[in-house]
Amino acid sequence: MITLNGYTVEIILACTAIESIALFMGLIGAVRAPLNRLATAFIVSVPVIYVLNLIRDIFVVVAYGEQWFGADSFVIAHNYIAKAGSGIALFAISYLVLLTLPELLGMIDGIWVIFSKELRSILHMSRED
């Protein structure tokens, strides 16, 4: 709980970017590539996500505590500005990681192929029932 000027914000687990960090760690860890490229992909993703999320959380707390956007400061800061910024940042980080580890694209495509085959199989089975 962080209070600024009488306005309190609770930082919950979802506000820590732990899901994004875990996703990128899993993707990077699943690829066989030279260590220097794996390290580069790690550096352009995990620490960057961590720092950007700290900035995001600080922005929301200050915007709400200072009432930058009036009575709806929390909603505007958190739900609109911070989420849009997070989406843009994750898109850019994903792009950099894919440039660094092009093997990831093949892995993602392989997962898509398996998923679509399974889905077609399930849909085909349900039509027969």
Please give the positions annotated as active site: 15, 56
Phi then psi dihedrals of residue 30, to 5 deg: -90, -5
C-beta separation of 111 from 51 below 8 A: no
How many Å separate Cα 72 from the centre of its chain?
A: 25
C-beta separation of 103 from 32 below 8 A: yes
